[in-house]
Amino acid sequence: MPETTPALKLVKEVSRPEMVFTLAHVPGGRRVVFGGSDFGVYDVDFALEKPEPRKLGAHESYVTGVALAGGAVVSGGYDGRLIWSDLELSAGPIRNVEAHAKWIRGVAASPDGALVASVADDMVCRVWDAKTGEKRLELRGHEALTPHHFPSMLYACAFSPDGRYLATGDKVGHIVVWDLNDGTQAAVMEAPTMYTWDPKQRRHSIGGIRALAFSPDGNALAVGGMGQVGNIDHLEGKTRVEVFTWRDSKQSHEFPGEAFNGLVERLIFLNDGNQLLAAGGANDGFVMGFDLKTKSVLLSEKAPSHVHDATLGDTANALFLCMSGRLAAYELT
| Among candidate residues 178, 270, 252, 174, the one with its CA nearest the CA of residue 215 | 270
pLDDT digits (tens, 9 = 90+) for 60-70: 999 999 999 98
Question: For the structural domain made of 8-332, what CATH number should be given?
Answer: 2.130.10.10
**122 CB contacts (<8 Å, ≥6 apart)?**
100, 101, 102, 154
Which pLDDT score, from 0 to 100, does residue 183 have?
98
CA geometry: angle at 126 spanning 264 and 32, to 5°? 50
CA–CA distances in Å: residue 110 to residues 4, 273, 282: 31, 19, 30
pLDDT in tens, 265-320: 999 999 899 999 999 998 889 999 999 999 999 999 999 999 999 999 999 899 99
Q: Which of 255, 290, 264 is nearest to 275 (CA)?
A: 290
Q: Which residues of 90-102 are buried (b: 16+ CB within 10 A; e: fewer)?
A: eeeebeebebbee
Q: Tell me which DSSP letter residue 145 carries.
A: B
Low-confidence ranges of the chain (pLDDT < 70): 1-5, 91, 200-205, 231-235
> For position 230, what pLDDT does the model report?
72
Helix (H) or strand (E) holding 245: strand 239-245
Q: Is 307 in contact with 326 (CB distance < 8 Å)?
A: no
Question: What's the CA gap between 283 and 236, in Å, rounded?
Answer: 10
